[in-house]
């Protein structure tokens, strides 16, 4: 399998070889190399109306059946939703349970995933064992938002700490989901191309006329962290901006938006009205889905500033990204170069892809 190389010096570097976007082998390999070790958004604490909530992690790609539970002490857990006897799905819809009972052969588990009982197994040797418990995954929360990892080889703090520290003043626990403002889009492009487009503001004056009217492009900056980066959107005079506390490192700036990206596929867009969380779901080498999950903090600021008319911005992004998808299939294009001042985020993304894919 090809090894990918991105020069650490952005002024010398070439972009990712187009084989990564085209070849099914790399799309498949990314499951274990990029997605399994990192963290994924799985929802929020408000979605657990009963005490058991089944879901599929990265539906259409990883397709991992998982279960979120809450016990009598209020402890949340994330575990496999597959019976350790014959692989049956255990819980198929949100519900209230005293314990988890498989509807195939009656094996029972506690809400912590621990084995409880199994009919007709008295004669089975070395039973039960640790393998008869449901596999528990690590669960990380930031305010109401919940995240898990299939392998958790990288600690959650290493992934989220830079964003959490920068936004320490933002009341994450007060966010509320607004389903009617949430969306899911199908984009006929490789998931990585969608992320690359997000990771640079270089295209804003050329693609997003409306957004360009409310952001000061000359003051648009990118900051890089280990597994994430930040594009800081500075508003023009008179626009709706954050009322930042003195404890913020951005105090005194007219910040209209914080655009945080977390490797490999999560985008946290903070606006004065709340948070637009975007999750990119790979579907095939030339198609992805993008979830826009809307969390509102201040209704009075909705549809204002950089966080207004997000559907239009999305349509503009989709059009250009789908054109790029067709372009990277060309026999005459293998890679490009980076703008040193405007494409640091894309260079960072490509560097992480090369690092993880080469392991």
Range(s) of the chain covered by CATH 2.102.10.10: 40-148
CA dist 346 and 32 (Å) reads 22
Identify the pLDDT of residue 338: 95
Q: What's the pLDDT tens digit per position in 91-150? A: 999 999 999 999 999 999 999 999 999 999 999 999 999 999 999 999 999 999 999 999
Q: What band does 212 get if pLDDT is binned at 50, 70 and 90?
A: low
Which of the two residues, 163 and 234, has the higher pLDDT score?
163
Per-residue pLDDT, averaged over 210-216, amounts to 59
Between strands 108-109 and 115-117, the pairing is antiparallel
Specify the fold of 40-148. Answer: Rieske Iron-sulfur Protein (2.102.10)
Q: What is the CATH number of domain 19-32+171-357?
A: 3.90.380.10
| Max Cα–Cα distance, the chain, nearest Å | 77
Per-residue pLDDT, averaged over 235-250, amounts to 90
Closest CA to 1 of 15, 14, 19: 19
Residue 275: pLDDT above 80? yes
CA dist 328 and 336 (Å) reads 10
Terminal alpha carbon distance of the chain = 11
H runs (alpha helix) in 208-279: 209-214
Alpha-carbon separation of residue 275 from 144, 209, 266, 269 (angstroms): 12, 22, 13, 6
For residue 236, give the DSSP letter: P
Q: What is the 3-state secondary structure (H, E, C) of 15-80?
A: CCCCHHHHCHHHHHHHHHHHHCCCCEEEEEHHHCCCCEEEEEECCCCCCEEEEEEECCCCCEEEEE
Identify the pLDDT of residue 215: 59
Identify the pLDDT of residue 311: 81
**Type and span of the H or E element at 161:** helix 156-166
In which order are the strands placed within the sheet that holds 115-117? 100-101, 108-109, 115-117
Range(s) of the chain covered by CATH 3.90.380.10: 19-32+171-357
Burial 65-91 (b: 16+ CB within 10 A, else e): bbbbbbeeeeeebbbbbbbbeeeeebb
To the nearest 10°, report the CA torsion of 29, 35, 36, 38: 140
Q: What band does 206 get if pLDDT is binned at 50, 70 and 90?
A: low
Residue owning tokens 């198609």: 287
Residue 318: pLDDT above 70? yes
For residue 50, give the DSSP letter: S
CA dist 282 and 61 (Å) reads 6
Per-residue pLDDT, averaged over 41-65, amounts to 95
User: For the ranges 94-98, 274-278, 299-303, which has the lowest average pLDDT?
Assistant: 299-303
Residue 213: pLDDT above 70? no
Number of Cβ atoms within 10 Å of the Cβ of 246: 7
Q: What's the pLDDT tens digit per position in 67-78? A: 999 998 999 999
pTM: 0.94
Tell whether the torsion through CA atoms of 162, 168, 169 and 173 is positive or negative: positive
Helix axis angle for 191-198 and 344-357, nearest 10°, is 150
Six-digit token string for 67: 């279960």
Per-residue pLDDT, averaged over 266-277, amounts to 97
CA dist 310 and 197 (Å) reads 15
Closest CA to 110 of 153, 131, 88, 79: 79
Six-digit token string for 138: 């690590």
Closest CA to 346 of 263, 277, 288, 268: 263
């Amino acid at each position: 399998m090809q090894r990918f190389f991105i020069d650490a010096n952005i002024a010398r570097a070439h972009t990712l070889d187009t084989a990564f976007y085209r070849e099914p082998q790399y799309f498949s390999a990314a499951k274990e190399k990029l997605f399994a070790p990192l963290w994924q958004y799985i929802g929020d604490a408000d979605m657990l109306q009963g005490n058991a909530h089944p879901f599929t992690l990265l539906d259409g790609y990883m397709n991992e059946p998982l279960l979120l539970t809450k016990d009598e002490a209020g402890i949340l857990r994330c575990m496999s939703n597959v019976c350790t006897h014959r692989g049956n799905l255990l819980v198929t819809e949100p519900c209230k349970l005293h314990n988890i009972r498989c509807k195939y052969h009656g094996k029972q588990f506690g809400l912590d995933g621990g084995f409880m009982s199994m009919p007709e197994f008295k004669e089975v040797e070395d039973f039960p064992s640790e393998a008869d418990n449901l596999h528990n995954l690590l669960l990380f929360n930031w305010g109401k938002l919940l995240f898990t990892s299939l392998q958790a080889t990288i600690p959650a703090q290493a992934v989220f700490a830079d964003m959490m520290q920068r936004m320490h003043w933002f009341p994450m626990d007060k966010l509320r989901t607004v389903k009617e403002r949430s969306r899911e889009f199908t984009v006929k492009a490789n998931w990585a191309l969608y992320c690359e487009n997000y990771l640079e503001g270089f295209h804003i004056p050329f693609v997003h006329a409306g957004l360009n009217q409310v952001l000061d492009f000359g003051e648009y900056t990118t900051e890089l962290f280990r597994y994430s980066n930040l594009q800081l959107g500075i508003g023009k005079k008179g626009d709706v901006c954050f009322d930042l506390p003195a404890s913020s490192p951005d105090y005194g700036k007219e910040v209209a938006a914080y655009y945080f990206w977390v490797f490999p596929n999560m985008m946290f867009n903070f606006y004065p009205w709340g948070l637009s969380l975007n999750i990119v779901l790979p579907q095939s080498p030339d198609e992805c889905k993008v979830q826009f999950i809307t969390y509102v903090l201040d209704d009075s600021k909705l549809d204002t500033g950089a966080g207004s008319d997000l559907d239009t911005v999305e349509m503009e992004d989709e059009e250009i990204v789908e054109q790029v998808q067709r372009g990277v299939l060309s026999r005459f294009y293998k890679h490009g170069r980076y703008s040193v001042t405007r494409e640091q985020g894309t260079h960072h993304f490509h560097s992480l892809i090369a690092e993880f894919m080469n392991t």
